[in-house]
Structure 1
Amino acid sequence: MSITVIRSGMLATIQDLGRYRYQKYGVVPGGAMDTGAARVANFLVGNAGDEAVLEVTLAGAMLLIEEDMLLAICGADMKVTASGERLPLWRPALVKAGTTIHFEACHSGCRSYLAVAGGFDVPKIMGSRSTYLRAAIGGFMGRGVKAGDQLSAGVASPLSMRMMKDWEKKRFSNVTVPSWHASHFAVADELAKPLIRAMPGTDYERFMASSQAALFSQTFRIAPQSDRMGYRLNGAETLMLDAPFEVLSEAVANGTVQVPSDGNPIVLLADRQTTGGYPRIAQVATVDLPVFAQLKPGDRFRFEAITQQQAERLYLDSERDMAILKAAIALKFN
């Protein structure tokens, strides 16, 4: 099965859940910005959660489906059409050959994820199919996809084959979709007035009391100088250290909140560097990284303080929900 790229839109790259175990060599993890949406899209087409997907940023991408294909799109609240027919998000769809998929407009959020049965078949580089643009490795030839590219799907799983066989019995024009969906995982509601839960970081106590308070009380705006590497934030009050101190470069994680000398925080994200030398004032809870990844330059949000124990409980709850969804889909087509 294959897809021809007619237009790539602002940016479209092949991503999976990331390239790990190589940070000690300076290789960034990368991967999908919204791993929750990427995993759900994969589950909806019968894939394992870590198969390669197409990450579409904002809007404008257009794809031609060359063969009948099982696919799903999850993530941003985006208007997507299949040869002019509205294509529902957060549910699987059997799409006929010759159908044009158009990511038309993004109402809220920033990134959508297209999964196909079998995942996108690109070479694994250091254990991952993710694209890291700065180093030009992984994904489709180490770059974003562009017009004329042919994207191939891998071998569909037995579950994917059962799903396609079930829907092939039904009449459909361009698209056949079931009545059920997985919108429980959508982040649209959280984006209305986003609260990003975070824990005080390693260097939190080194900041002025007023800056500690400002971190969790003021509204931050995402600056234009933001990308997959990190989001730069602007607030009414800059965050300042209580006294100067020399910081050694140490490992950083997805969601680490660093504060450079100008007092404007940077939230490190998927394509972050492997180490950082700025004071770490906070760490975004893993469960809220998908919400944060759907914010875009100009959006505003606030941090909400939680403890590490609360973050762990929220993470376990979200993983339980993922396991339930995966099991429910498998049982439905057993």
Structure 2
Amino acid sequence: MSGAHLLVLACGAATGLQDGGRSGYQRQGLSGSGAMDRLALAAANALVGNPPETVAVELALAGARLRAVGGVVRLALAGAPFALSLDGEAVGDHRSFCLREGATLALAPPRRGVFAYLAVAGGIPVPERLGSRALHLRAGLGGVDGRLLRAGDRLPVGAPAGAGADRTIDPLPLDSEAPVRVVPGPQADHFPDAAVAAFLSATYAVSNRADRMGYQLDGPAVAHGERGFNIVSDATVAGSIQVPGSGLPIVLMADRQTTGGYPKIATVISADLRRVAQRRPGEPLRFEAVSVERAVALAREAAAVRAALPVRLRAVISREERLMAANLAGNAVDALAP
């Protein structure tokens, strides 16, 4: 661990630490938590040379200000396009950069999307809890003392910044208009065929009742079948779409409860969970049914994309370097020539 740390000067109410999440505890009633957009987490970590699921600062809609104390800190932001500035000078997202000692990084709220991840070279070595540093707020577990970040927090830095070249990567697509692909069930038979068809053809909107536990949707109510809206509680996964008595679907997310007593009309495929997570309240959301086989293939494709992130990195080229590399004399003419 280096002697440097990040001092939190200000941050939004939903700012916390997240990694790839914890597994193996659902039978004890603890869901995995972890980053809401794991591709963005992996991209930010790749930019600073970390393993893909290393803990990072998760920002949601609101900005933040942080200062480097005790040394230089190498950082990178990926996900929703927050506007970044170092001591008032703009710097792009989806690239790495160094925050020198005493300098302040300001992040303004994003123009699109919800979640972004600020990765730190060497990680943020807060204590692990049950094999993860991910904050599970409802359980009071992980993160900094089991809570969200607040002004005055000091985040340790796992390694010095080093003198390596800064890297960049193409911004990640937010897929804000693409349909969210789902596998029907596991309780699709609790709904009339016409209700399932209506669900798949409807356009919903993310409501204001959306957080890391679940996204409740506004739109056409889904009609239940003769067995009603109660079932014997059974397991849920990230992406389970419950339909309570109101008929308004709820997409369960990273901090969901581990069991539930409402029938689940469909399940968002793992590859598309980030499409849901990055939808803002009021933004439209449509569903498209796919087979289990197709969902597995898409999961493998998504895993391959994450694994390939390090090879997609490019060196950051400064404006001066671009000018030096340009063939400025290529079109020059001899003023004395006839």
**Common fold by TM > 0.5:** yes
Q: Structure 2: how far apart are the matches of 1:25 and 1:206?
A: 28
1:43-82 deviation line (CA, Å, top 9, x unaligned): 1111111211000111231111222111110111221222
Q: Aligned residues: percent identity?
A: 37
* Number of residue pairs the alignment of both structures matches: 310
Pick aligned residue for 2:14 from 5, 11, 14? 11
Conserved 8 A contact 1:10-1:58: no
Residue 36 of structure 2 aligns with an amino acid whose one-letter code is M
> Counterparts of 1:211-290 in structure 2 under 5 Å?
211-235=195-219, 237-244=220-227, 247-290=231-274
Q: Of the candidates 316, 322, 331, which is equivalent to residue 300 of structure 2?
A: 316
Per-residue CA deviation, residues 285-334 of structure 1 (Å, 9 max, x unaligned), is 1111112111122221111111111111111112112222235659xxxx
Q: Is the 8 A contact 2:206 2:280 kept in 1?
A: yes
Aligned partners of 1:234, 1:329: CA distance in 2, in Å? 39
Aligned to 1:302: 286
Q: Which residue of 2 aligns with 1:45?
A: 48
* Residues 73 and 157 in structure 2, CA contact (< 8 A), matched pair in contact too: no
Cα distance between partner residues in 2 of 1:313 and 1:238: 31
Aligned match of 2:31 in 28, 32, 42?
Answer: 28
- Secondary structure at the aligned position of 1:166 is classed as coil
The answer to whether 1:181 aligns with 2:163 is no
Q: Which residue is equivalent to 2:64?
A: 61
| Deviation (angstroms), 1:14 | 0.7
1:124 maps to 2:128: yes
Which SS does the other structure have where 1:221 is aligned? strand
Q: Assess if the C-alpha contact under 8 Å between 1:123 and 1:138 holds in 2.
A: yes
CA distance in 1, matches of 2:138, 2:225: 35
Alignment of 1:49-198 (within 5 A): 49-66=52-69, 67-155=71-159, 164-167=162-165, 177-178=166-167, 180-183=168-171, 186-188=172-174, 190-191=175-176, 193-198=177-182
Alignment-mate amino acid for residue 280 of structure 1: K
| Cα deviation code 1:183-228 (max 9, x no counterpart) | 2xx133x11x231111111111321222111211111011111111
Residues 9-51 of structure 1: per-residue CA shift (max 9 Å, x gap): 2321011111210111111211111111111111111111121
Contact 2:169/2:313 (CA < 8 Å) preserved in 1?
no
Give the direction of change, closer, same or farther, for the CA distance of 1:166–1:19 in structure 2 (3 Å limit): closer
Question: Unaligned regions of 5+ residues in structure 1, if any?
Answer: 168-176
C-alpha distance in 1, partners of 2:55/2:246? 38
Scaled by the length of structure 1, what TM-score is found?
0.88
Contact persistence 1:15–1:129 (CA under 8 A): yes
Contact kept, 8 Å, 2:231 with 2:261, in 1: the verdict is: yes
Contact map agreement 2:61 2:110 (CA 8 A) in 1 = yes
- 1:152 alignment partner AA: P
What is the aligned partner in structure 2 of residue 203 from structure 1? 187
Letter in 2 for 1:181: I
Aligned to 1:170: none
1:166 and 1:6 map into 2 onto residues whose CA distance is: 27
Q: Distance in 1 between matches of 2:100 and 2:159?
A: 18
Which TM-score applies when normalising by structure 2? 0.87
Amino acid at match of 1:208: P
